[in-house]
Amino acid sequence: MDLIASPTQPSPAAHTRTDATALLRLVEATLLELHPDAADLPPVTLASRLDQDLGLDSLARTELLLRAEQAFGVSLPEDALVTAEKVKDLLHALERGHPVDLAPAKSAPRPSPAPLAPPAPDAAGEPASASTLLEVLAWHAREHPGRTQVTVLQDGEERPITYGALAADAAALAAGLQALGVAPRETVAIMLPTCPEYFSTYLGILMAGAIPVPIYPPGRPSQIEEHVLRHAALLDNARAVALVTVPEGRLVARMLQARVKGLRTVLTPQQLTAHGATPAPLAVSGKDVAFIQYTSGSTGSPKGVVLSHANLLANIRAMAQAIEASPADVFVSWLPLYHDMGLIGAWLGSLYVGMPLVVMSPLAFLARPSRWLQALQRWRGTISAGPNFAYELCLRQIDDAALADLDLRSVRLLFNGAEAVSAATVRRFSERFAACGLRAEAMAPVYGLAESSVGLLFPPLGRVAPVDAVQREAFSREGRALSTRSDDANALRFVGCGRPLSGHAVRIVDGDGHELGERQEGRLEFRGPSATHGYFRDPQKTAQLLHDGWLDSGDRAYAAAGDIYITGRVKDIVIRAGRNLYPQEIEDAVGQVEGIRKGCVAVFGSPDVATGTERLVVLAEARPATADEPRLRQAVARAVIDTIGEPPDDVVLAPPHTVLKTSSGKIRRSACRALYEGRGGRFGPDARHLQLLRLAAGAARMQLARAARSAGELLFAMHGALVFGLLAPPAWLLTVAQPRPARAWAVSRAAARVFFALTGMAPRIEGLQNLPEGPCVLVSNHGSYLDGAILLAALSRPCVFVAKAELGPQRVVGLFLRRLGAVFVERFDPRRAAEDTHEMTSHTRRGDVLLVFPEGTFGAAPGLLPFRLGAFLTAAQAQVPVAPVVLHGNRAALPDGSWRLRRVRLEVEVLPPVPQPPPGELLGRAVRLRDAAYAAMAARVDAGEEQL
C-alpha cells in the first residue's frame, strides 16, 4: 500500500542472522554487478540506504527486489518498492512476504488463447441517453446488476465488483457523507491507493452532490515533507471539507488537516459506509462538476481543472468511438486512479462501455513489470495503456526467458501517452514483443491533457505508428520540420499521435495567434465538448488558458499529412543563442552516462543577464559510489555535445531524490530550476525526523495564525452585532413612522449605508447604468438574510420588495416591510399565488419597480436554486423589462444557519435586461424570460463564489 507507515516489525523468530547475512551478500553482489569497474564500492550494512548510500535507482531497486524474491522464495508485498528505503526495511519486507515457489517453469509451446466470449444478450447497447456518470451507473446496475465491472488484483487475490455492488456501496458512502454534513458542491479529497473502495468512494461523493478531488497517496517516507506541503496547497485551493483515506494514511492526513483550514474531517471508506444508510436524493445534471483534476504540473502553484459530467461523457464517447470499444473488450490497467489516464481513460471509460476492467496497483507493476503483461494474457486483455517509461521498464526488466511463456495475441491496442513518446521505445517494444504475438499496429501513441478531460488525439485503427525524422538545424532555429533520411544520425525524431477526436478540433499557432501551415512548429490549441471551462478558483490562469474560444495546451507541435506531432512543452524548451533546445533528448543522453541515475536528469534554462540569453543547465543525480566527480562532469558534458553539438553552461551533480517529479513521474523542470536558482547549490532531502519536525513547527505556526484570525473574526462579529444593535431600533422606528413608502425607503437606505460603512463592508456597485428607466422587474440571487439590506444600500431608486407571505403577520419584520410598500406573495397555494401575480402586475402598471428573489429561499450550498415563475409572469403580462441583479459575497458574509457576521467584500452587479421574447402565449414568454435570466445570473453567481 503506497502510504506512509512505519515499517512492520518482524516477529522475533521470523528470520535468523543467517538470513540477514545472506541478504547483505545479495545486496553486495548486486552492487558489484551494477558497477563492475568501480574501484571502491560503499560498505553494505542493514542501515545502508538503498539510494543515497548505495546508489540504487528505481530500476536497480526493482532488480534487487526480484533477486531477493528468488533467493528467499517469497513474494514481497506490493509496497516494498516504496517502503524499503534501507537494507533492514527490505529484510522486514521479506518477513512480511508470502512463501511461494518462484522457480521459472519449463518452457512449453505457447497455447492458443481462448477466444473472447461474445457479449451476453444484455450487454447490447450503452447508456447513450445518460447525461451524468450517476445515470451511467444506474443504467448498468438496472440492466445487469450481477455482471462484474471491476476486478481488483491485490496481494495475490482477485476481488470482483459487480455493477449492483458498486451502486450499493456508493450509496452507503454518500449517506455517510451527508450524515457528516457535507453539502452539495463542497469538495471531498480522495487519498486512497488502488483498492476496491476507491471506485465506490468516487461515485459516492458524486451521489452526495459533492465534488471528488483525487490526490495521490504519499510514497517514500523521505519525501513526506514535500508531499505534505504540496498537497496542503492543493487542498487549500480546492477548499476540501473532508478527506477519505486508509488507516495507514492518517499520519499524513492529520498533517494536512493541521495546515488546511476548511478540512473538517478525515475518515476511511469503512467508517463512512458503516451504517449502510440510504442517501437523500439530489438532482445532478450534466453541467455539474464531476471532479477536479489537479494537474501534475512542474510549478508549485496548484491548478485544478474543473470537469463536468458532460465534459467526461463527451470525451469517453469520442474515445470509445475512435477505438470501436465494446463490452467484448477487456481493459487491463495498472495506472494510478488519482491520474486522469487511469481514472477516466481506464475506469470511467470501461464503466460507460460496459467492458470488464482488471486493475492492479501501480506498485505491483513497478515492482515486477511482467505482472502487467501476464495479466493481459491471463484475462485475455484487449486494451491497455501506459506512459513511455512503462514500456521502457518492461524492455529492461523482462528477460528473454519470460517471453517464451507470454502470449499477447489478444491485445489489440496498447496506448502510449501521458508523457513524451519516444520513437525508439515504440520501435523496440514492438520488435521485441512481436515474438509474443503482439502486432505492430497495436502500439498506439496518443496525446491528451487534463484540460481536455484526458484524450484529444487518437490514431486511426490498424496502422503502425509513424515516426518523422526532421532536420535538426532548420527545426531548432526556424521551427521548420523538414524531412530527412530515416537513417540520418543527426535527425530529430517525433512520433505521430493521430488526429483530433470526433467533435474536437486543434490548430497550430505562432506567438501572435496566427495559424501556421504544415510542417511549421508552433503552439497547439484545441477546443471541443471535452474542454474544461477553466481552473478552480483561479480566474487569472483561466484567462491565460482561453483564447478566442480556443484553449492553450502548453505544448508545441506541428502537423504533417493529417497527423499531429508533439515536440515538447512550451515552458521547457531552452532558447539559447536563438536556437530551441529540447530537454527530453538531452536528458535521455545524459541518463546513459555511467554513474548517472537514468530518469533522474533535469535539463532547463536559467536566465543569463550578462548575455541576454539562457544558460543551459544539467541537473543530474549521481550514484553515491561515484568518487571521481570531475570525470563524471566531463562525461555528462561530452554526452550533451554529442547530442546537440554544444556543451552545457553548468553541470550539477546531486544526490538521489534531488530531481523533482510529478505524481505521474514527469520531470518538474521549472521546479528544478527554482531549486537550482534558490538553494545555492544545496541539494538532497533531509532526514525524515527533521522533515517531521519542520512540518510540526510549520503546523504550529499556522494553528497560531489561525487562532489569531478566529479571534479577529469573533471581534469583528461582535462589532457588527453592536453596530446593528445600536442602529436597528431607531432605524426601524423612523421607517415605520414614515407616511409614504418612498420616504420609508430613503430612511432605511440611509440606515443600511451607515451600517455597512461602520462595518467597513460598503458594497461596490457595478452596472447601475443597466437599470431600466421606467417600471421593471429586478430579480436578485438570494444567499443570506443580509440581502435586503445590501440592496437597500445599493439601489437609490425606491423599489417594491416582493416577500413571502409568512413574513406579513410578523410584528417587527412584517410592519417594516409594509411601510416599505412590500407585496406579500403565497408560495404554496396556486390559487392565492395567481392572485398575488395580478397584484404584482398592477404595481408595474402604476410605474413601480418590483424587487424579487425568484429562488424563494436560500441555503448553504453555493449557486442558484431553481427560479419560481411569478416574477416572470408579471413581467410578461405587464410587458416590462427584467433586469438581473447579482450579489457577490452575501452568502459568505452571513451564511445560512449563522448570525455571526464575517468581513468580506460585497459587490452588487446590475446586468443588462434580458432580451424580450417574441410575441406569443403568456406562459411560454414567461418561461423564456425565466430561463434567460437564470442563465445570465448563474454564470456570474458561480464566478462570484469562486467556483472557477
Q: Where are the domains of the chain?
A: 17-99, 128-311+338-343, 573-685, 726-944
Q: Count the Cβ atoms, other than its own, within 10 Å of residue 335.
A: 25
Selection from 102, 81, 78, 99 nearest residue 90 by Cα:
81
Give me 695's grid cell: 512540518
3-state secondary structure 255-316: HHHHHCCCCCEEECHHHHHCCCCCCCCCCCCCCCEEEEEECCCCCCCCCEEEEEHHHHHHHH
**Side-chain-facing half-sphere of 109: CA atoms under 13 Å:** 2
CB burial of residue 679 (10 Å; 0-12, 13-18, 19+): exposed
Selection from 568, 573, 536, 540 nearest residue 553 by Cα:
568
CA 642, CA 628: separation in Å to the nearest integer? 21
pLDDT of residue 121: 44
In order along the chain (948 residues), what is the average pLDDT of each group of 10 residues? 40 50 84 68 82 69 78 77 79 77 44 44 73 97 95 90 97 96 94 95 97 84 73 91 90 86 92 90 93 68 91 97 96 93 96 97 88 95 93 88 92 90 90 95 95 96 94 89 88 93 96 92 96 92 91 94 90 74 84 84 78 78 72 87 82 83 73 73 58 73 78 90 92 90 92 94 92 92 91 90 84 87 75 72 88 86 83 89 92 84 92 89 89 88 50
In CATH, what class is 573-685?
A: alpha beta
pTM of the full structure: 0.74
CA 771, CA 767: separation in Å to the nearest integer? 8
Going by their DSSP bridges, the two strands 800-804 and 187-191 should be labelled as: unpaired
Interhelix angle 224-238/250-259, nearest 10 degrees = 50
Give me 908's grid cell: 452588487
CA 655, CA 240: separation in Å to the nearest integer? 35
Q: Which fold has domain 17-99?
A: 1.10.1200
Buried b (16+ CB within 10 A) or exposed e, 59-89: bbbbbbbbebbebbebbbbbbbbbbbbbbbb
* Amino acid letter for position 837: T
Residue with cell 502553484: 301
Q: Which fold has domain 128-311+338-343?
A: Rossmann fold (3.40.50)
Q: Count the Cβ atoms, other than its own, within 10 Å of residue 312.
A: 25
Going by their DSSP bridges, the two strands 467-470 and 187-191 should be labelled as: unpaired
Length in residues, the chain: 948
Selection from 772, 719, 754 nearest residue 900 by Cα:
719
Numbers of helices and strands, H then E, in the chain: 31, 36
pLDDT of residue 467: 94
In CATH, what class is 726-944?
A: alpha beta
Buried b (16+ CB within 10 A) or exposed e, 619-653: bbbbbbbbeeeeebbebbbebbeebbeeebbebbb
Buried b (16+ CB within 10 A) or exposed e, 346-373: bbbbbbbbbbbbbbbbbbbbbbbbbbbb
**Side-chain-facing half-sphere of 465: CA atoms under 13 Å:** 34
Determine contact, residues 226/695, Cβ cutoff 8 Å. no
CA 494, CA 489: separation in Å to the nearest integer? 14
**What does the DSSP assignment read for 235-260?**
HHHHTEEEEEE-GGGHHHHHHHHHH-
**Who's near 393: CB < 8 A, 6+ residues apart?**
59, 62, 366, 369
